[in-house]
Structure 1
């Protein structure tokens, strides 16, 4: 179950997605929280410059590898606006981060993109557990579905 404090972290991830959209990027945002509940790092999507690997989940995995012990990483949680793509799920698993809590699932995103006629992404949108089977994952959180759907609609119809 996702606590009210954790919902605050998830809300921040969705805010970061909005910041990405306002900056002309795809709407994704993520927050890394320690096992003690401290926000350690956050980022938003930065793929508009052409580097399609600049996902916030990937950046947070790199940050965690450089700044946290393996024990700290295992106790941490990544709160994110969208379920990790396979690249980000692999980075999360390789770095040894703990739980993932996401607002919208990859399946929801694929459906929203199909609604507006956007083709399939170049990488198959697999559930996190198919890539990193030992990671505890919670989501989607329906409270954010319509807001994120509208962000993606705006992003891909501008």
Structure 2
């Protein structure tokens, strides 16, 4: 499967999160071409601000396959991971991140000047990064949701 295939899988799960009333974000954790974990944002339906998609995917993979299998894996996320998730990815040993959509593209105001690159530089995290995979589709879903705090154009 290609990066676009794994991102398409993440998008299907983001649609499920959206339909359920959660933030439309999902993540797929892959190692050696195999899906080890899938996570959907659940922070609204579970009333828990830590139930982000990346956390859920890493948790699912570690519980099913062992935490050591997560090391060196790739996370495919429909949205740029927040600082909390980026920190968890560093601690888990995630080696690569494939992004659909960036906070800057949405013009979000609630995260200041944050970017995954800034986090990695400050935290000494050597993360391989691929951006813009199915970006238009990720953006369309996010705009349908319409609850981001954004700057005017």
Same fold (TM over 0.5): yes
Gaps of 5+ in 1: 114-119
The answer to whether 1:139 aligns with 2:131 is yes
Matched with 1:58 is 55
Deviation of 1:52 (Å): 1.6
Q: 1:78 aligns with which of 68, 75, 79?
A: 75
Matched with 1:126 is 114
RMSD of the TM alignment (CA)? 2.1
Q: 1:46 aligns with which of 29, 42, 46?
A: 42
Moved over 6 A (4+): none
**Taking structure 1 as reference, are residues 96 and 151 closer, same or farther at Cα in structure 2, changes over 3 Å only?**
same
Deviation of 1:90 (Å): 0.4
Deviation of 1:148 (Å): 2.4
Number of residue pairs the alignment of both structures matches: 141
Gaps of 5+ in 2: 148-153
- CA–CA distance in structure 1, aligned partners of residues 142 and 52 of structure 2: 15
**TM-score normalised by structure 1 residue count:** 0.78
SS in 1 for 2:23: coil
**TM-score normalised by structure 2 residue count:** 0.80
Deviation of 1:64 (Å): 4.4
Q: 1:68 aligns with which of 66, 70, 83?
A: 66
- CA–CA distance in structure 1, aligned partners of residues 142 and 57 of structure 2: 22
